[in-house]
């Protein structure tokens, strides 16, 4: 039984053209056949945190 290597890459930036996301996308092209890379995008989470901080500062 062959085991596949699973990699989770975290990417999060408020910029549209994030270097971190671009590097992770490029890394998917370089992976060996027995490995997978899933990109977890933190954009939504970062926006939520930013909104929550703004709300807290308004009080």
Q: Each residue of 15-53: pLDDT tens digit?
A: 777 888 899 999 999 999 999 999 888 877 878 888 899
**Model pLDDT, residue 34:** 93
Rounded CA-CA distance 13/37 in Å is 19
Q: Considering the entire predicted model, what is its pTM?
A: 0.63
Q: List all residues 6 or more positions away from 11 whose beta carbon is below 8 Å from its beta carbon.
A: 18, 20, 21, 24, 39, 40, 41, 42
**Model pLDDT, residue 6:** 94
Rounded CA-CA distance 58/56 in Å is 5
């Amino acid at each position: 039984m062959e085991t596949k290597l699973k990699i989770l890459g975290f990417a999060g930036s408020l910029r549209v053209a994030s270097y971190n996301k671009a590097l992770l996308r490029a890394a998917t092209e370089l992976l060996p056949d027995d490995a997978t890379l899933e990109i977890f995008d933190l954009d939504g989470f970062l926006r939520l945190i930013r909104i929550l901080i703004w709300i807290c500062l308004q009080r």
